[in-house]
Amino acid sequence: MTKEMAKEWQARWRAVDAREQQELREQSFDEKLRALAFLMASVDLFDMSSLAAEDVAARERWARLQSLMK
């Protein structure tokens, strides 16, 4: 990827972000609340069983990094 291509890519994502922000500003409170309620109700659809093990591994890595920096 050239520097020019990277700049174009960033510009496109800035445009996407600006559009998303505009859409969020235009949404009513009820629409936002409905979306939140849907996400909260769908938590059972996701497998969360590996999160505890991942948390432990991440904490161990951070502890090791901190000990190396002392």
Cα separation, 17 vs 9, whole angstroms: 12
pLDDT of residue 38: 95
Helix (H, G, I), strand (E, B) or coil at 10: helix
Domain boundaries, the chain: 3-69
Q: What DSSP assignment string belongs to 19-65? A: HHHHHHHHS-HHHHHHHHHHHHHTGGGS--TTHHHHHHHHHHHHHHH
Verdict on whether the full-model pTM lies above 0.75: no
- Tens of pLDDT, residue by residue over 7-23, are 999 999 999 999 999 99
pLDDT at 4: 95
Mean pLDDT by 10 residues, the chain (70 residues): 94 97 96 94 84 89 91
